[in-house]
């Protein structure tokens, strides 16, 4: 089932999306043609693996500085994480390598090597907080097994 509809700008009506558009995409603005009418709509960029909303305690480590936080969502090859507010500031750029420790269960911690794909920093009087999307480089079997068990 698709979770979006295309809007025909000429007719100002909603029509279901064409059947050949896969359901798992990121939002992009595209131009479409439906039954001869031209309009604009929303489609999504295909990802390599589906994301799962899973909150895990996690810690990123870069250049000897660590930041604790939680994961927002996970996939077999990526993680979105938010850190707790801290006074230590790390300046990340695209492809910066970081180590990430995530607590999968109360007894199991997995170490992941990641590359930063995007990064946002928010500074307040209390310190700095980070939001970041990371690609997991060669995920270990324990992590892959954990993700697949959540499907």
Query: pLDDT tens digits, residue range 77-113?
Result: 999 999 998 887 777 788 889 999 999 988 999 999 9
What's the average model confidence in pLDDT over 21-38?
43
User: Are 30 and 83 found together in one domain?
Assistant: no
Same domain, 135 and 79: yes
94 and 39 part of one domain: no
User: Cα(88)–Cα(142) distance, rounded to whole angstroms?
Assistant: 31
Q: Name the nearest CA neighbour of 45 among 29, 64, 57.
A: 29
In a domain, 51, yes or no: no
Task: For residues 36 and 104, give the distance between their C-alpha atoms in angstroms, rounded to a whole number.
Answer: 51
Q: Are 38 and 53 in contact (CB under 8 A)?
A: no
Q: Each residue of 47-73: pLDDT tens digit?
A: 567 889 999 999 999 888 889 999 999
Over residues 20-35, mean pLDDT: 42
What is the spatial order of strands in the sheet that 6-8 belongs to? 13-15, 6-8, 37-44, 27-34
Q: What angle do CA 84, 86, 91 make, to 5 degrees?
A: 100
**Is the same domain home to 10 and 84?**
no
| Residue 132, domain member (yes or no) | yes
pLDDT reading at 19 higher than 70? no
Q: What is the pLDDT of residue 9?
A: 39
Question: What's the total number of domains in the chain?
Answer: 2
Structural domain boundaries enclosing 15: 6-44
Same domain, 14 and 72: no
Give residue 44's pLDDT: 47
User: What does each C-alpha distance from 148 to 71, 76, 81, 95, 139 come to in angstroms?
Assistant: 17, 8, 19, 26, 12
User: Average pLDDT, whole number, for the chain?
Assistant: 76
- CB–CB of 147/123 below 8 Å? no
- Token pair, residue 28, equals 């992009």
What was the pLDDT predicted at 150? 86
pTM: 0.65
Is the C-alpha dihedral spanning 132, 62, 137, 116 positive or negative? positive
Domain-embedded: residue 1:
no
């Amino acid at each position: 089932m698709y979770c979006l509809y295309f809007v025909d700008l000429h007719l100002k009506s909603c029509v279901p999306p064409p059947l050949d558009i896969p359901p798992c995409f990121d939002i992009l603005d595209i131009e479409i043609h439906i039954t001869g009418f031209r309009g604009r709509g929303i489609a999504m960029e295909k990802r390599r693996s589906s994301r799962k909303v899973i909150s895990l305690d996690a810690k990123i480590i870069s250049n000897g500085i660590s930041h604790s936080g939680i994961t927002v969502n996970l996939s077999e090859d990526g993680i979105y994480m938010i850190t707790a507010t801290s006074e230590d500031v790390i300046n990340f750029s695209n492809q910066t390598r970081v180590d990430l420790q995530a607590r999968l269960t109360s007894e199991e911690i997995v170490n992941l090597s990641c590359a930063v794909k995007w990064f946002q920093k928010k500074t307040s009087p209390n310190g700095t907080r980070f939001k970041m999307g990371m690609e997991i480089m060669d995920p270990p079997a324990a992590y892959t097994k954990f993700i697949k068990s959540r499907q």
